[in-house]
Chain A
């Protein structure tokens, strides 16, 4: 099994340019000091200094891979990322630990649910959201080879998914269908895959699109889903502001494509802290709850393809939309 650490060690062994920095956060890289020696630099709990030093190392031709918890990396050191790495367009690789729901019971201080929003605001920044350990391992060599700065929303949880070969800006379609288009990236991909499988068993053709990188994003995959499916749903452990939902909305507006889009994410609030399984259940992102929410989103909006403006989880269906339970999609 290729772990994040073993892949990074192998890449560093093959490429002298790679240096590894951490702000005293070693959970995923415990054995690297022994393997790469002086190219492992622990600066202590100094996120700003770490990012500034990474910029200096990159100026000298290095590819620094820096580690800190996602919220402190992207927010405490934000201006260093934006000003030194961003303006400099330097190939610094920013690895944010326990993003989104992975902060579990830490509470709102540790909840990186705005990290995609702030990283997207930096011109030239690439954003990689691995769905599981396998995708993280497959994507790591590719994002390290990119000359651009990259934010990696670290996720090394195992899953049973089989992934298509990884490429920057290329989505993979994990299930086919033309009824409901489910757009997702990162931690929630496996639960979304289970949910889509359930929907298929119930006769709803759910297309599951794992976007994998949010910058560059696969606009073609989003537009194809929007043109083929009657309803789109975005699924993210992130605020609705600035994340996947916002990104999809921007793409659809830019290309003048109209389709109901139901956002499943965090609407202007932090999530309830707890063990991961409990968080997912409470917030509605366990496979079971996601299945129900996707089905509801489809039923409430499938008749609105050329209808009026809004699409939401909570709205009551207008008169011309099918009543709940009236499985009109099977007859059209």
Chain B
């Protein structure tokens, strides 16, 4: 058992939840698995937030800006007791609220998202209010790298730097893909750290699947007084499932029931078998 053994086990359970959500309608599995370690680490070790603090104005806020990675958030929140894990079986049920994008009907979800490029500015409004009130709240906004194509992200970044929002932390889930293509093959983002620095952020660039690396990135916040912090978390689409890791065409998946069992097996370290279900890449 390593120093992060319990976290690794928790992350494995969250990934298993996401895989079980990837059937009977499916989900955006690729991005869910790339941000799982990030979410598990933040909720366990960084956020001053808990199921009994969801209305505490002094809590930290986590906003999932790209939104379609919400199975990882549903799984993390359920594992941490915000709602029963049994409720995850209601994924896509018409009489529950566990659909493809986050919403406030789910305990622990701060705000809805799904339209790319929104929650950085929403998070900035929360951060400004926390500063106005002199409260301790910090705002963590998890954004996608593909999402950084949106002009509103850079407009908001410009203002975040100008307003010196050092209670704001932007985490880029840098899995290298936008919907169907590698980011660098379409609209290259690199050098991303330099871009964010130029907009006034203090920037860390780390392995988003390494708990020791994440511990280093979040040990002391802000990284620089008077500056918003950006953490570029280098991640892998579908992390944890070598048979479909880093594959452009496995963004959204809708698995057959036996394929769910195969991937859960693979997650536990057993031999991978190829998926038969058709890649669904256009959503």
Q: Give A contacts to B, CB under 8 Å.
A: 19, 38-39, 41, 43-44, 46, 48-62, 64, 79-80, 83-84, 87-88
Contacts and interface: CB of A to CB of B under 8 A. Distances in A.
B121 interface: yes
Nearest to B113: A83
A51 B155 CA distance: 12
Interface stretch (B44-52, B122-130, B196-204, B219-227): B122-130
Contacts of B158: 44, 46
B128 A56 contact: yes
A84 B118 contact: yes
A49 B156 contact: yes
A82 to B, nearest CB: 9
Nearest to A48: B152
B111 A52 contact: no
A80 B132 contact: no
Given A52-B120, A55-B122, A79-B115, A41 B156 contact: no
A41 B128 contact: yes
A49 B121 contact: yes
Contact of B159 (A44, A79, A84): A44
B130 A60 contact: yes
A39 B132 contact: yes
B125 A80 contact: no
Nearest to A46: B155
A58 B152 CA distance: 20
A76 B190 CA distance: 28
B159 A49 contact: yes
A87 B112 contact: yes
Nearest to B112: A87
29 contacts: A43-B159, A44-B159, A46-B155, A48-B155, A48-B156, A49-B124, A50-B121, A51-B121, A52-B119, A53-B121, A53-B122, A53-B125, A53-B159, A54-B125, A55-B125, A56-B121, A56-B122, A56-B128, A56-B129, A57-B125, A57-B129, A59-B122, A59-B126, A61-B57, A62-B129, A83-B112, A83-B118, A84-B118, A88-B112
Contacts of B271: none
A217 to B, nearest CB: 28
Consensus secondary structure, chain A interface = helix
Smallest CB-CB A-B distances: 8 pairs: A56-B125, A52-B121, A53-B125, A60-B129, A56-B122, A56-B126, A57-B125, A49-B121
Interface string B107-148: 000111001011111111111111010000000000000000
Given A56-B126, A83-B118, 19 more contacts: A39-B132, A44-B162, A46-B159, A48-B121, A48-B156, A49-B159, A51-B121, A52-B120, A52-B122, A52-B156, A53-B128, A56-B122, A56-B124, A57-B125, A57-B128, A60-B125, A60-B129, A61-B57, A62-B129
Nearest to A37: B132
Contacts of B152: 48-49, 52, 80
A48 to B, nearest CB: 5
A102 B122 CA distance: 31
Contacts of A51: 121
Given A39-B132, A56-B124, A49 B155 contact: yes
Interface residues of B, number: 28
A37 B181 CA distance: 47
Contacts of A50: 121
- Most-contacted residue by chain A among B125, B156, B159, B163 (CB, 10 A): B125
Contacts of B124: 49, 52-53, 56
Contact of A80 (B118, B126, B130): B118
Contacts of B104: 88
Contacts of B120: 52
B7 to A, nearest CB: 29
- Most-contacted residue by chain B among A41, A48, A49, A57 (CB, 10 A): A49
Nearest to A55: B122
A60 B57 contact: yes
A88 B111 contact: yes
A38 B129 CA distance: 10
A5 to B, nearest CB: 21
Nearest to B123: A56
Contacts of A43: 159, 163
A202 to B, nearest CB: 54
A19 B159 CA distance: 17
Interface string B183-219: 0000000000000000000000000000000000000
Nearest to B122: A56
A46 B162 CA distance: 12
Contacts of B130: 60
Nearest to B114: A83
Contacts of A54: 125
Contacts of B126: 56-57, 59-60
Nearest to B121: A52
A280 B155 CA distance: 37
B111 A59 contact: yes
A53 B123 CA distance: 7
Interface string B15-44: 000000000000000000000000000000
